[in-house]
Structure 1
Amino acid sequence: MTQFIRQELSSSLDLVRKLSEDNALHRQIEAVVGLCTRALRAEKKILFAGNGGSAADAQHWAGELVSRFYFDRPGLPGIALTTDSSILTAIGNDYGYDYVFARQVEALGCEGDVFFAISTSGNSANILRAIHAAKERGITVVGFTGAGGGNMLEHCDECFRMPSDSTPKIQEGHELLGHMICALIEKDMFGHDRD
């Protein structure tokens, strides 16, 4: 058991080291924060979607924007498309699970919004359909996926690829970057450093 713990922590440290040393990734984070803050200042919103652990990330990041991150400030319009069981089950029943996010993007998304599409494989059918629905409406798409990028890579305006093929490590990287982006959006929007 101790050996497993050490291996997992070492693997996580290796992931963080790779992210820390990736200057292109740092510029990409800055670019995405800029996309988000411009949208928010234009009274647009940020939509989030993913499956499983990625659904938890979608809800988490939307919560960070709507509530707060480091300091008290006005709420920001972040919507997780993963939370309304009646909508999800209605769409799933009427159209199929592949459409549970695309239909919501069609209903709630507007030109100028930003859509965070989260899929560790980059191949989740419902995420790909939602990306296409977003692009048809002039919504900027920010992808979060694994090293390969999958099918979603070519359809995203920006795509964060974690330097791993391990689903848990990809998710750890997503959570780290998602938190950082929420903190930077808050800082950029309200000009406040954390306490």
Structure 2
Amino acid sequence: MDLIARISRQFQDNTRATLDALEMLAAPIAGAIEIITASLLDNGKILVCGGSGSSGDARRFAAQLVNGFELERPSLAAFALSADASTLAPLAGDPATEGLFSRQILALGQPGDILLTLSPHSGSPRILEAIGSAHERDMRVIALTGADGGATAELLGPDDIHIFAPATRTARIQELHLLILHCLCDGIDCLLLGVED
């Protein structure tokens, strides 16, 4: 096996996926930045959840809003739903854990808050129930998905934002999601701090 060639293909695939995504995703990312910033300025909060492997990215995004990204600024109100071990513990033994995020949203979510979901696969029951609960609480949803969005896209309302990574491989989708999250952090900071370039 030629490992160097295999590694080169990974880099090339990543670059292609990123460039393919740029034109189609710039506008929805900008829209997401604007609604998150508006919510934060109106004393709203951002609730974030990720399905399976995306839960780490959800926690990281919330931490970057609270602790800062690349610019010095006050903490922003964000919470990763997958980070609260004491809340999740009672559900851990329950095989029907679809309500894992939903219950937290119903307890914490308020009108004007934002739910941001991350899932490379479109049919995660936890994510679908989370979106339903956010709508119950009059929250807007920003959903990061894979190429088609499937069941997730079908649940989104006209005021929600769907940002789909135009890729089919899970690794490429997750790489694009991380880039999108960094764009969100940067854009939010720039709007809040009045940075022009």
- TM-score bracket for the superposition, by shorter chain length: over 0.9
1:23-62 map, 5 Å? 24-62=24-62
CA contact (8 A) 1:91 1:103 kept: no
Bigger CA drift: 154-163 or 173-182?
Answer: 154-163
The one-letter amino acid paired with 1:51 is: G
Report the alpha carbon displacement of residue 3 of structure 1 after superposing the two structures with TM: 1.5
Q: Tell me how large the CA RMSD over aligned residues is.
A: 1.5
Secondary structure at the aligned position of 1:28 is classed as helix
Match of 2:72 in 1: 72
Secondary structure at the aligned position of 2:162 is classed as strand
How far apart in 2 are the matches of 1:57 and 1:64? 10
Match of 1:161 in 2: 164
How far apart in 2 are the matches of 1:30 and 1:175? 15
Match of 2:18 in 1: 16
CA contact (8 A) 1:92 1:99 kept: no
- The structure 1 segments of at least 4 consecutive aligned residues displaced by more than 2 Å after TM superposition are 91-96
TM-score by length of 2: 0.93
Report the alpha carbon displacement of residue 136 of structure 1 after superposing the two structures with TM: 0.9
Secondary structure at the aligned position of 1:15 is classed as helix
TM-score by length of 1: 0.94
The one-letter amino acid paired with 2:8 is: R
1:105-124 map, 5 Å? 105-124=105-124
Secondary structure at the aligned position of 1:79 is classed as strand
Match of 2:84 in 1: 84
How far apart in 2 are the matches of 1:191 and 1:93? 47
Percent of aligned pairs with the same amino acid: 32
Structure 1 residues 67-100: Cα deviation after superposition (integer angstroms, max 9, x where no partner): 0111111000010001111211213446831111
Match of 2:175 in 1: 172
Report the alpha carbon displacement of residue 142 of structure 1 after superposing the two structures with TM: 0.5
Match of 2:184 in 1: 181
Gaps of 5+ in 2: none
The one-letter amino acid paired with 1:32 is: A
Structure 1 residues 86-142: Cα deviation after superposition (integer angstroms, max 9, x where no partner): 211213446831111000000111111010011111110011001000011100011
How far apart in 2 are the matches of 1:191 and 1:43? 19
CA contact (8 A) 1:47 1:116 kept: yes
